[in-house]
Structure 1
Amino acid sequence: MTSQTCPRDFNPMTGPDRDDPNPFYADCRDNEPVRFSATLGAWLVTRYDDLRTVVDDPATFSSRNAIPSIWNNPPEVVKVFEDAGCTPEGATVVNTDEPEHAPLRRALEHAFGGRRIRAVQPLMKRKAEELIDAFAADGRVDLLSRYADPFVQAVVSAVFGIPDSDIDLVQDWTNDQVLLWNPLAPVEGKVEAARRMVEYERYIAALIEDRRAHRREDFISDMVHGDGDTFPPMSYSDIQYVFRGLRVAGHDTTRDTITSTLLAMLQNRRWWDEAVQNPRIIPRLTEETLRKDAPHRGLMRVTTRDTDLGGVDLPAGTALLLLFGSGNRDGRTFPEPDVLDPERPNVRDHLAFGHGIHQCPGATLARTEVRIAIETLTARLPQLVLEPGWDPVYIASYFFRGLEELRASWPTAH
């Protein structure tokens, strides 16, 4: 295995990589596109073509380590789970290879397919209007905490079958799940998160039992009962871990896509004004923002055999971190990659939702949420601007790239 000496390591939790990872990505793509990170214990894959090579060859690049196991934590964290008798890790669609992957995939395609998206669209429109009604007279707002976040939480909770009264509670547990996945998070915080996750498992268990007796039109019912010959019922442990993992994926990335797209439009006023006059441009603006500022940094893979990638020899068992956000800025595929251009001909070729058999099954639902949220906001508050003096600050996250807040203002009647 060969590599140049890395000028500095990659740490998305702090320093320049938290604020703007793109200079690091560009250096990797130009000088060492497959680069080892001692901090993460994995090889970073940064060029678009190399990323496509990996995701299009699941036989060589397994997904079994795509996201960490919460059981793969320090002993004091694992002890919390063991003492409580928690369920061993089940399968998730992200971490499985074929043939186990296919039935899980079919279940998710059913859960997040066109029929359910059509059914939830009236809720999307109603919730967007209600949220704007609550702050429209104020003249200023944090669009993340008062719009994007509660909007996505309401939608994903309805699809999953989470009661409105439990939305905040489940979100707190979802944040604990993300913390336990993070290999860079402090152990003390992980122990406390593990204790809370014991309650999360019990909560999901109660939902499972309720749906066994009372089937509903929601995701957890799909998993409990299956769908005839299309896909079988899932096991208890698989439901636990699919529910938790998809609850994370269904919230953070969609919320952050809404705020990142709004930020891009407001920083490039031409496109905000265009969207006000012509809402049909919004889907292309969303795709271009997904390319330019992907909400998910990337997922892991592990090699199943000795192979070569980007000129680097990788033995079997080598861990890779696929930096989709870097591939989306690769000028070899996207000319002038730092320019927001929704009219670029390959605008949908980005990797923000992955590619191949593991492409995000909730992508259509997410795109619909983003479109309706932005359409409603541009129609209701066409004079909205970024609040003067506000500068974007990004969350400290191993997995996600999203804003801490999005401050905006607009003229009011008084």
Structure 2
Amino acid sequence: MSGADRCRPSRRAVPSDEPAGPPVEQVLLDHGPDLWRIRSFDAARQVLRARHLTTQAGFTAERIPRGVFRRHPILISDGEPHDSQRRELARFFAPAVIADRYGERIDALAQDTVDRIAAAGRCRLDEVALHFSVAVTSEVVGLTESSITGMSRRLEGFFTQPPVDLAAPGWGRTRKQWLQAAVNGLVPIVRFYLADVRPALRARRRRQRDDVLSHLIRAGHSTSDILVECVTYGTAGMVTTREFITMACWHLLSDDELGAEYLAADQSRRLEILEEIIRLEPVVGHLFRRAEADIEVTAPDRTVTIPAGDLIDVCVRATNTDEEAMGPEPHSLCPVRHTAEAVPAVGMSFSDGAHKCPGQSLALFETDALVHRLLDRGPRLVAEPEIGWDSVISGYRLRGFQLAFDEGSCPERRLS
């Protein structure tokens, strides 16, 4: 049976109001610079690799005050400062480092998590995935001096925000909503600092360790710089991985053939299946850049010049289903997919270029560690998750995913 013969139309997370259109589309805006939607994989890669010609505009980065930082956080920095930060942090997220330094700890956390929920008999997987992803990433980052359950709750607080539309005047928010956003953002940050970051900083100033937090201290980052980096890793590295774990389980438990193939495979093959799932279901659906100079982009149908100042929307769900890059049946989940030359199996799900997510290997490794052990216990899908949307990260939220096991009932539990 060929790879194409095994494809199944199973994409689930697509907003009902997401516009379709040509590979490169200019949207004229009345209130300021225009918007360019990029749906071609190759054109998107040109934009994301246009070094020094764009700056980060997603995740409300353009509203983050920069004057208070001695060094710009990695999320919003660009150019040589950003490149230097990435080089310094690469050793914490390299695939070999993840496997060698953190592999045993991640496996132990996954086994303990699955043993607990299987013995409990019933659980809500999206909550389990949150606690597990927070526990794993906190080890790598160094936020190890506080409760995982409490940190999970505080990190969730960052996403209680009014809707945002980067292409609308005032980003689609009223003055009242901006005030609400400030309060809803600052209160969780203060709590996160007091309960999670400050204790970890004190511990590492007494005795440094081989983690991101210790590195930031050695590099001379200020407390405010470190706090924002921790918020970045907390929201990107922990909370979004929660969604992917839940989505991967949903696909594997809903498709008996795919689930059986995944369960029987070795780790490298399992990671290929997970890469195909996240290609089809990217957690972050849009990547935004601001053109700092004119950018020439060649699309399949034409060549365009994006003027300086315009907003660029890389439509990840569209680039990841570009047939020229992804091969036949790009909207289907294919356990065996052959992408075009130099096109990664995950598409743009972890971005590309200077702002490519450094945590890709960690996200896939920890997802596999938990999901493989979970499926090995033979859970029953009791309630499928409901899909919601977060406009700040342009991503999906999966809530209410209920699983049951044969060992008994499910009491409340804490991971610490």
Task: Output the TM-score relative to the length of structure 2.
Answer: 0.78
1:373 Cα deviation from its structure 2 partner = 1.0
The aligned residue for residue 130 of structure 2 is 149
Q: Say if 1:71 and 1:89, in contact at 8 Å, map to a contact too.
A: no
Gaps of 5+ in 2: 1-11, 166-172, 410-416
Aligned residue runs from structure 1 range 91-102, under 5 A: 91-102=72-83
RMSD, aligned α-carbons:
3.3
> Are 1:323 and 2:311 counterparts?
no
Q: What letter matches 2:362 in structure 1?
A: L
1:307 Cα deviation from its structure 2 partner = 3.4
1:322 Cα deviation from its structure 2 partner = 1.9
Structure 1 residues 38 and 160: alpha-carbon distance in aligned structure 2, compared to 1, 3 A threshold: farther
> Are 1:239 and 2:231 counterparts?
no
> Are 1:28 and 2:21 counterparts?
yes
> Are 1:52 and 2:45 counterparts?
yes
Q: What letter matches 2:137 in structure 1?
A: V
Q: Say if 1:34 and 1:312, in contact at 8 Å, map to a contact too.
A: no
Aligned counterparts of 1:166 and 1:407: Cα–Cα separation in 2 = 24
The aligned residue for residue 364 of structure 2 is 367
Cα deviation code 1:104-145 (max 9, x no counterpart):
102221222333542322222222222222232455432211
Larger relative contact order (Cα-Cα within 8 Å, sequence gap ≥ 6): 2
Aligned counterparts of 1:154 and 1:342: Cα–Cα separation in 2 = 30
The aligned residue for residue 14 of structure 1 is none
Structure 1 residues 339 and 23: alpha-carbon distance in aligned structure 2, compared to 1, 3 A threshold: farther
The aligned residue for residue 278 of structure 2 is 290
Structure 1 residues 270 and 332: alpha-carbon distance in aligned structure 2, compared to 1, 3 A threshold: same
1:34 Cα deviation from its structure 2 partner = 4.6
1:252 Cα deviation from its structure 2 partner = 2.1
Cα deviation code 1:187-232 (max 9, x no counterpart):
4642243234234345535533442332123221011114xxxxxx
1:289 Cα deviation from its structure 2 partner = 0.7
3-state SS of paired residue (1:401): strand
Aligned counterparts of 2:231 and 2:30: Cα–Cα separation in 1 = 29
3-state SS of paired residue (2:215): helix
Aligned counterparts of 2:51 and 2:38: Cα–Cα separation in 1 = 15
Q: What letter matches 1:291 in structure 2?
A: R
Aligned counterparts of 2:110 and 2:29: Cα–Cα separation in 1 = 42
3-state SS of paired residue (1:257): helix
Structure 1 residues 354 and 69: alpha-carbon distance in aligned structure 2, compared to 1, 3 A threshold: closer
Q: Say if 1:37 and 1:44, in contact at 8 Å, map to a contact too.
A: no
**Larger deviation: 361-370 or 313-322?**
313-322
1:66 Cα deviation from its structure 2 partner = 3.9
Aligned counterparts of 1:391 and 1:356: Cα–Cα separation in 2 = 35
Aligned counterparts of 1:37 and 1:247: Cα–Cα separation in 2 = 34
Aligned residue runs from structure 1 range 151-170, under 5 A: 151-163=132-144, 165-170=146-151
3-state SS of paired residue (1:253): helix
Q: 1:120 aligns with which of 89, 102, 106?
A: 102
Aligned counterparts of 1:355 and 1:162: Cα–Cα separation in 2 = 27
Aligned counterparts of 1:179 and 1:23: Cα–Cα separation in 2 = 22
Q: Say if 1:128 and 1:376, in contact at 8 Å, map to a contact too.
A: yes
1:282 Cα deviation from its structure 2 partner = 1.5
> Are 1:306 and 2:294 counterparts?
yes
> Are 1:193 and 2:190 counterparts?
no
Structure 1 residues 215 and 256: alpha-carbon distance in aligned structure 2, compared to 1, 3 A threshold: same
The aligned residue for residue 251 of structure 1 is 238
Q: 2:255 aligns with which of 268, 282, 300?
A: 268
Aligned counterparts of 1:52 and 1:33: Cα–Cα separation in 2 = 16
Count of aligned pairs between the two proteins: 372
Aligned counterparts of 1:365 and 1:357: Cα–Cα separation in 2 = 18
1:241 Cα deviation from its structure 2 partner = 1.8
Aligned counterparts of 2:385 and 2:30: Cα–Cα separation in 1 = 29
The aligned residue for residue 168 of structure 2 is none
Q: What letter matches 1:408 in structure 2?
A: L
> Are 1:104 and 2:85 counterparts?
yes
Q: What letter matches 1:67 in structure 2?
A: F
Q: 2:387 aligns with which of 379, 390, 394?
A: 394
Aligned counterparts of 2:244 and 2:29: Cα–Cα separation in 1 = 27
1:100 Cα deviation from its structure 2 partner = 0.9
Aligned counterparts of 2:228 and 2:408: Cα–Cα separation in 1 = 50
Q: Say if 2:146 and 2:199, in contact at 8 Å, map to a contact too.
A: no
Gaps of 5+ in 1: 1-17, 73-77, 79-85, 227-232
Aligned residue runs from structure 1 range 57-68, under 5 A: 57-60=50-53, 62-68=54-60
Task: Output the TM-score relative to the length of structure 1.
Answer: 0.78
Cα deviation code 1:267-313 (max 9, x no counterpart):
22211011222244321110001100001123221112233445555
Structure 1 residues 300 and 49: alpha-carbon distance in aligned structure 2, compared to 1, 3 A threshold: same
The aligned residue for residue 412 of structure 2 is none
Percent identity of the aligned residues?
A: 22
1:153 Cα deviation from its structure 2 partner = 1.2
1:359 Cα deviation from its structure 2 partner = 1.5
Q: Say if 1:67 and 1:95, in contact at 8 Å, map to a contact too.
A: no
Aligned counterparts of 2:30 and 2:325: Cα–Cα separation in 1 = 28
Q: Say if 2:384 and 2:400, in contact at 8 Å, map to a contact too.
A: no
Q: What letter matches 1:193 in structure 2?
A: G
